[in-house]
Each structure stands twice: as structure tokens, then as C-alpha cells.
Amino acid sequence: MTDTVIQSQPDVLIDYDRSEQGDLHTEEMLVNMGPQHPATHGVLRVVLRTDGEMVLEAIPHIGYLHRCAEKIGENLQPFQFIPYTDRMDYLSGMNNNQAFAIAVEKLCGIEVPPRGQAIRVILAELNRIASHLVTVGCFGLDMGAMTMFWWCFREREMILDLFEATCGARLTYSAITVGGVHDDLPDGWVERCREFLDYFGPKIDDYNKLLSYNHIFLKRTGNVGVIPLEDAIAYGLTGPCLRGSGIRWDLRKVRPYDGYEKYEFDIPIGLPGGTNGRPVGVVVGDNWCRYFMRVLEMAQSVRIIRQALDQLPDGDVLAKKIKNLKLPDDEVYVEAENPRGQLGFYVRGDGSTIPYRVKARGPSFNNLSILTHICRDILIADMPAFIASIDIVLGEVDR
């Protein structure tokens, strides 16, 4: 038995072990997973220290998509910065717009008209469904379920058609802005949205039959990548990653904004296998629980959108005088429930029209931070499942 320490990476020391058992020689090896690798869901590089098929340590390397988003926010008026928030978590632009707009509105004392609030909720929940469809579909693709990927993207295209009819864009929207929403809903849009909800609701059952309760999928994800609740809290996890570990925490319920207190909906959480329709073999906080949170949340988003459409009031959609808005010499920090967790914005004003300081707290960054802690003594084949289950977007991790 010999032990040698080698400097494989400039900032990481790796133990290099060789053991001899007869003719068998085993060595630890470094494997670079990414930054251009389909299982990393973006330009994420994960350095794996492996022994055969086992991952002994996983170290994420980020920063390949850093674009100084927050510094840009300190050089533009708030309404000009809205398009940049789209490009942070580029799968949930509506929710990003909403979080930043709410922060500026709270700082400046702006009241959003009731119709503007209702449209915000509709757009944000549609975007939550669209984002979760990418997560669920790509999760299936990572596990070899190609059909799930096509099904989810088929439904997502219908949502993007609705967005395009509303604001002319399909990915980076800038539809939700400071003071409300940029434009009112076009004629016939509400009826088209109802038709989509009627079509989409039953599709969730199809997803469950195809993938959620699939025997192979359960074996690949159940009791794998378990994040205990105390670890989830310690690492600052939020959103489906936190709720999958068994705590019922959702800002739309505990700290309602934009009128969410008016709507009835449930907050799904991770439960042990054999309870509430959870299959045997599932453990609270595992990869399957985090996957299933998105499936259940899509159904709840359908409930919220239906209620918002039924209660949609008349009136203005945008508050007056939001351009050349002077930010008071004060500070505010506001969080909203992004599809990936709590997205927070800190905004500091100094009396001018441009913020003195802008800082974002992104859920993907915190959710990714637990990767090294959890990904020890697991199979290399389990890495894509874990990364898919925490559902990161690198535009928001790096910013």
C-alpha cells in the first residue's frame, strides 16, 4: 500500500490511492464532467474523483457564464434592467421580472393595479409550468426516457404561444415590469388560456403513468441523492429542493405577494414511500421526491391560473409615472417564489433614478452548493439524476 498526494488541480488536492489485492490494481481517477456535457444542464464543470464506477468526491466549478448582471443593474434605471433579469434564470423570465419589479415597487411605494396583479400571477404560474416541463422532460431524457422529453416540450410550446401572443417573445419576455405588466392581455387570450388548461390538466396523469411510477425510473431515483431536511436548511436550499426534503415552505403562502392570498392551492412536500400515492422505495428528500415536486406543482399552478382567470378584474394594468422614477435614499430586500426557489433582490437607492446597489440571491446557486456534500460514494451514473433533480440554470448561478 502506497499513498501519494498529487496536485491535479491548482486549487484542489486529491488523494491518489493504489491498493493491491492479488492481480487487482485500483486507482483513483479525475473525470471532468462538463463544462460542455448534456448532463450538466449548462456550462457547469464538475470534477469527479472516482474509484471505478464510484464517485468519491464531486467539486463544481462555476463562472463560465458570468456577465456582471448585478453591476449592470447599478448603471440603468429599474425599468431598463428588467430585460437583464430575463437572462438570469432564462427558463423563468416572467418570475424574474416579477421579483425585481416587486422590490423596486416596495422601495418606491408603488401600488400595482388589481388587474395588473392578476395578470402577473397568470403569467408567473404559466411560466412555472413551462419551467417545470423543461425540468421534468430533461430529467426523463437524462434517465433514457426520450418520450417524456417530447411530451413535455409539446405542452411547453403551447405556453410559449400564449406568451408570444401577450408580449411578442418566447423566452426573454420583459412583460412584467415596475408598476404592473407592460401590456394588457389581447382579445381572445383568456379563452385560449382556458383551452390550454383543459388540455394540459389530464396530461399530468399521463406523465405519471409514463415516468413517475415507471419501475426503472424508480430504481434509478428512489433512495438516491437523499438530502436530509437539516442539510437542506443548513445549505440554504429553497423551492422544490427544500419542499422535497419534507418542509411545507412556499413564499406564495407564507409571505404572499401580488394577491396570492386570494387563491386556494396546496403546497406539495416530500413524503415517505407508500403514503399519499408515493411508490414504495421512495425516501423523503431523494431524487424522485424532488422530481415529483415539480409534477405536483404544475397541477397546483393550473388551479391558481383558473382562479385568476375567473377573478380577473377590469381596469389599468400599469401604475402611472414609472419612467424617470427617483429611488429614495433607502434600501429593500424582497424575495419571490421562483420555480427553482426563493429569488431575492436587494435594491439600494440614493435619490437618483439609478440604483446605488443591486444584488440578487439566486436559488440555483444555493441549491447547487450542496452537490459536494451529497455526491459521495454514489455511482457515476447517479450524477446526472442528482444534477437534474436540483434543477439549476447556470445563467442565474453565475450571473
For the structural domain made of 69-373+383-398, what CATH number should be given? 1.10.645.10
Distance CA 43, CA 152 (A): 23
Four-CA torsion 84, 239, 297, 303, nearest 10 degrees: -70
Each domain of the chain, given as residue ranges in start order, spans 2-61, 69-373+383-398
Four-CA torsion 157, 211, 307, 169, nearest 10 degrees: -20
Q: Are 394 and 89 in contact (CB under 8 A)?
A: no
Predicted local distance difference test score (pLDDT) of residue 243: 94
Query: By percentage, how much of the chain surpasses pLDDT 90?
Result: 69
Closest residue by Cα to residue 232 from 212, 248, 218: 248
Q: How confident is the model at residue 21 (pLDDT cuts 50, 70, 90)?
A: low
pLDDT in tens, 265-308: 999 998 888 787 788 888 898 999 999 999 999 999 999 999 99
Per the rule left: phi > 0, alpha: psi between -120 and 50, beta: everything else, 303 is alpha
Distance CA 317, CA 237 (A): 34
The stretch 15-42 carries a mean pLDDT of 70
The string of DSSP letters for 297-311 reads HHHHHHHHHHHHHHT
Q: Which three three-digit cell numbers place residue 378?
A: 454514489
Closest residue by Cα to residue 89 from 141, 131, 122: 131
Q: How confident is the model at residue 38 (pLDDT cuts 50, 70, 90)?
A: confident
Query: By percentage, how much of the chain surpasses pLDDT 70?
Result: 94
pLDDT in tens, 343-373: 999 999 998 999 999 999 999 999 999 999 9
Q: How confident is the model at residue 25 (pLDDT cuts 50, 70, 90)?
A: low
Distance CA 88, CA 332 (A): 20
Q: Are 273 and 283 in contact (CB under 8 A)?
A: yes
Closest residue by Cα to residue 285 from 223, 333, 346, 328: 223
Is the pLDDT reported for residue 113 higher than 90? Answer: yes
Query: What is the average pLDDT value for the chain, to the nearest integer?
Result: 89
49 bridge partner residues: 30, 57
pLDDT in tens, 44-103: 899 999 988 889 999 999 988 898 999 999 999 999 999 999 999 999 999 999 999 999
pTM listed for this prediction: 0.89
